[in-house]
Amino acid sequence: MNDKVYIFDTTLRDGEQSPGASMNTDEKLVIARQLVNLGVDIIEAGFPISSPGDFESVRRIGAEVGDACITCALSRAVPKDIETAADALKTAKRPRIHTGIGVSESHLRDKLRISPEEALERGVAAVKLARTFVGDVEFYAEDAGRADPEFLYRMIEAVVAAGATVVNIPDTTGYTYPEEFGGLIGGLMDNVAGIENVTVSVHCHNDLGMATANALAGVKAGARQIECTINGLGERAGNTAMEEVVMAIRQRGNLIGGVHTDVNTREILRTSKLVSSITGIRVQPNKAIVGANAFAHSSGIHQDGVLKERTTYEIIDPVEVGAGGSEIVLTARSGRHALRHRLEELGHTMEDDEFEKVYEEFLRVADRKKEIYDEDLEALLGEHERELNEVFHLEALHVMSGEPGIPTATVELVDREGQHLIDSSHGTGPVDALYRAINRIIEVPNDLTEFSVQSVTRGIDALGEVTIRVADDRGRVFTGRGAHTDIIVASAKAYTNALNRMLGAQERTVEEEL
Ligand code: KIV
Ligand code: ZN
């Protein structure tokens, strides 16, 4: 059996289904380019029938990636979906249509309200139709993890006979245990005629925290494609995290059949940071492989061990996933050369004029802090990128608060036409006063649903990063982030950032509706 495991990245489709993770087409293209650098085999670029934005993303990503990898588009087992997916994939050199239907009793009875026989007919018809457009058709058996295995075997046998090239066995609800899921894949390998002629794929959700274990159990039983997302983004608790399965296979693939992937692991951390910065979804510090603490040693005993021999407490060399080994300490006295060098090490190259702006901001932060860490730089660059897409720019703010006293804030924003808009408000606290003042200028209905402050680096002079979520009047959620040594300023930046994203999405919706 082939020992390569194909990596099917669905960050731009299932990953985007994470609440608050919606991305525009330009952002998706940036991620797609990085996925190519990372060396994934398949990019699921979107669900074209779902929106004009998704259609456009599939079209542009297909054109962009060329033959570097397969471009895949999702569809239900519905003719119009499949035709639209095929249409969007016309630009792709290596197109794949991913179509399918629910197979569990729950999906058949309660969602689709059809009999198993009808689902079987629809599945077969969908594959046949998709094959009239492309040679590469993947069939998904939704909620296979909770399906009757005998029915699943029949369905898979029928779609393989109809021309499917890949069969995807999703644990849609993250319900199974590794032994159980591995058993399901093993059962398919033993009971489905023709299975040896297609690639079996696993698509596991993380509702019980077992997505990685389940995907690996599937590979052990014979699957040769894993569907996963960067940082484990995805519906609800997310999907299998790409970085986890790839590194588990790299470190211990001998335990599951001597398999390997073609992922360039040194691009993992860069990809993780890019996705986090674009989606605004922060990676938990203790996240395996890509968390900020994944290679940090805190206790004296561990530090002693690691200093004597790294492998006493580290099973992965951080360099293997693109984490820097050495640290240059940047201060206000560092020149342009040192800053540019460090930025390039972190994967950020830029033109001179853009660099000058980043350098000025760097000096401003360095004046307030003793040392600038990599995380400070990432926060600072995030700030810079956020400012490039602004509808309103936060120019100045003044806040008064105390006890007793009435917290009051005055803000000055500049719009795209360069108009300076100033307003003030009082509130229950300084941040409330500030947000009310911003609302008086921006005037877009919104509901603040989440607010959190985190220190990006260590020490009393640390950069504080504020992450917030706001919902618009359609219930869409937008994430905003802002970093500054003053958390009130960081709060204002985060709110303006979220409202800018909301305004951008509303402008796109109007354009799409016209
Ligand atoms: O979780 C799932 O079943 C899916 C399918 C659409 C592949 O995402
Ligand atoms: Zn899924």
| pLDDT confidence band for 326 (50 / 70 / 90) | very low
Query: Structure pTM?
Result: 0.72
Residue 274 identity: L
Cα–Cα distances (Å) from 432 to 413, 467, 481, in that order, read 17, 15, 17
* pLDDT tens-digit map of 190-238: 999 999 999 999 999 999 999 999 999 999 999 999 999 999 999 999 9
What are the structure tokens assigned to 509, written together? 């919706």
As a whole number, mean pLDDT of residues 416-440 equals 95
Question: Which residue's alpha carbon is at the smallest distance from atom 2 of ligand 1?
Answer: 172
Q: 141 and 186 share a domain?
A: yes
Q: Which of 120-129, 144-153, 367-376 has the lowest mean pLDDT?
A: 367-376
- The predicted pLDDT at position 138 comes to 98
As a whole number, mean pLDDT of residues 152-166 equals 98
Q: Is 95 in the pocket of ligand 1 (CB under 6 A)?
A: no
Q: 55 and 118 share a domain?
A: yes
Query: Got the DSSP string for 139-191?
Result: EEEETGGGS-HHHHHHHHHHHHHHT-SEEEEEETT----HHHHHHHHHHHHHH
Q: Is 138 in the pocket of ligand 1 (CB under 6 A)?
A: no
Give 339's Cβ-side CA count (13 Å radius): 26
Give 76's Cβ-side CA count (13 Å radius): 8
Q: Is 8 in the pocket of ligand 1 (CB under 6 A)?
A: no
Ligand 1 pocket test, candidate residues 172, 214, 226, 236, most atoms within 8 A of CB? 172
Atom number in ligand 1 closest to CA 142: 3
Q: Which of 117-131, 260-274, 338-352 has the lowest mean pLDDT?
A: 338-352
Q: 495 and 369 share a domain?
A: no
Query: Got the DSSP string for 445-511?
Result: --EEEEEEEEESSSSTTPPEEEEEEEE-TT--EEEEEEEESSHHHHHHHHHHHHHHHHHHHHHHHHH
Q: Is 240 in the pocket of ligand 1 (CB under 6 A)?
A: no
| pLDDT confidence band for 459 (50 / 70 / 90) | low
Q: 307 and 164 share a domain?
A: no
Residue ending a domain, among 335, 351, 385, is 385
Ligand 1 pocket test, candidate residues 75, 111, 142, 240, most atoms within 8 A of CB? 142
List, in order, residues 6 or more apart from 400 with CB less than 8 Å away: 407, 408, 409, 430
Question: Which residue's alpha carbon is at the smallest distance from atom 8 of ligand 1?
Answer: 14
Query: Got the DSSP string for 177-243?
Result: -HHHHHHHHHHHHHH-TTGGGSEEEEEEB-TTS-HHHHHHHHHHTT--EEEEBGGG--STT-B-BHH
What are the structure tokens assigned to 322, written together? 């693109």
* C-alpha 142 – ligand 1 centre gap (Å): 6
- The predicted pLDDT at position 298 comes to 42
Residue ending a domain, among 385, 406, 436, is 385
Residue ending a domain, among 332, 362, 385, is 385
Domain containing residue 405: 390-513
Q: Is 170 in the pocket of ligand 1 (CB under 6 A)?
A: yes
Does residue 294 sit within a domain? no
Q: 138 and 38 share a domain?
A: yes
Does residue 285 sit within a domain? no
- The predicted pLDDT at position 321 comes to 96
Question: Which residue's alpha carbon is at the smallest distance from atom 1 of ligand 1?
Answer: 172
Q: Which of 265-279, 286-300, 305-319, 357-371 has the lowest mean pLDDT?
A: 286-300
* C-alpha 75 – ligand 2 centre gap (Å): 13
Q: 69 and 178 share a domain?
A: yes
User: How many residues in total does the chain contain?
Assistant: 514
As a whole number, mean pLDDT of residues 386-394 equals 81
Percent of the chain with pLDDT over 70: 91
* pLDDT tens-digit map of 77-114: 999 999 999 999 999 999 999 999 999 999 999 999 99
Atom number in ligand 1 closest to CA 14: 8
| pLDDT confidence band for 325 (50 / 70 / 90) | very low
Q: Is 435 in the pocket of ligand 1 (CB under 6 A)?
A: no
As a whole number, mean pLDDT of residues 313-317 equals 90
Q: Is 277 in the pocket of ligand 1 (CB under 6 A)?
A: no
Q: Is 14 in the pocket of ligand 1 (CB under 6 A)?
A: yes
CATH of the domain at 173: 3.20.20.70
**What's the 3-state SS for 307-330?**
HHCHHHCCCCCHHHHCCCCCCCCE
Does residue 235 sit within a domain? yes
Does residue 209 sit within a domain? yes
Give me the sign of the Cα torsion angle 282, 287, 290, 294: positive
CATH of the domain at 458: 3.30.160.270
Between CA 47 and CA 90 the distance in angstroms is 14
Query: Got the DSSP string for 392-430?
Result: EEEEEEEEE--SSS--EEEEEEEETT--EEEEEEE-SSH
Residue 253 identity: G
Does residue 80 sit within a domain? yes
CA 162 to chain centre: 33
CA 305 to chain centre: 35
Q: Is the pLDDT of residue 297 over 60?
A: no
Q: 149 and 244 share a domain?
A: yes
Which among 115, 129, 122 has a CA at the least distance from the CA of 85? 129
pLDDT higher at 513 or 430 = 430
* C-alpha 17 – ligand 1 centre gap (Å): 11
Number of structural domains in the chain: 3
| pLDDT confidence band for 299 (50 / 70 / 90) | very low
As a whole number, mean pLDDT of residues 401-417 equals 92
Q: 192 and 74 share a domain?
A: yes
| pLDDT confidence band for 329 (50 / 70 / 90) | low
Tell the residue number behind the tokens 């894993």, with chain if given: 226
- The predicted pLDDT at position 373 comes to 75
- The predicted pLDDT at position 370 comes to 66
Highest mean pLDDT among 30-34, 330-334, 371-375, 465-469: 30-34
Q: 328 and 206 share a domain?
A: no
Strands 408-415 and 420-426 turn out to be antiparallel
As a whole number, mean pLDDT of residues 293-309 equals 60
List, in order, residues 6 or more apart from 125 with CB less than 8 Å away: 77
Does residue 293 sit within a domain? no
Question: Which residue's alpha carbon is at the smallest distance from atom 5 of ligand 1?
Answer: 142
Q: Is 136 in the pocket of ligand 1 (CB under 6 A)?
A: no
Question: Mean pLDDT across the chain, nearest whole number?
Answer: 90
Q: Is 47 in the pocket of ligand 1 (CB under 6 A)?
A: no
- The predicted pLDDT at position 315 comes to 94
Q: 255 and 355 share a domain?
A: no
Question: Which residue's alpha carbon is at the smallest distance from atom 4 of ligand 1?
Answer: 172
> Which ligand approaches the C-alpha of residue 239 most closely?
2
Ion ligand 2 — residues with CB < 5 Å: 14
- The predicted pLDDT at position 2 comes to 79
**What's the 3-state SS for 77-130?**
CCHHHHHHHHHHHHHCCCEEEEEEEECCHHHHHHHHCCCHHHHHHHHHHHHHHH
Q: Is the pLDDT of residue 347 over 80?
A: no
Q: 96 and 23 share a domain?
A: yes
- The predicted pLDDT at position 327 comes to 43
Does residue 286 sit within a domain? no
Q: Is 25 in the pocket of ligand 1 (CB under 6 A)?
A: no
Is 239 within 8 Å of 11 (Cβ atoms)?
no
Does residue 288 sit within a domain? no
Is 229 within 8 Å of 15 (Cβ atoms)?
yes
Residue 91 identity: T
Q: 380 and 507 share a domain?
A: no
* C-alpha 101 – ligand 1 centre gap (Å): 9
* pLDDT tens-digit map of 357-383: 889 988 888 887 766 777 778 778 877
As a whole number, mean pLDDT of residues 406-435 equals 95
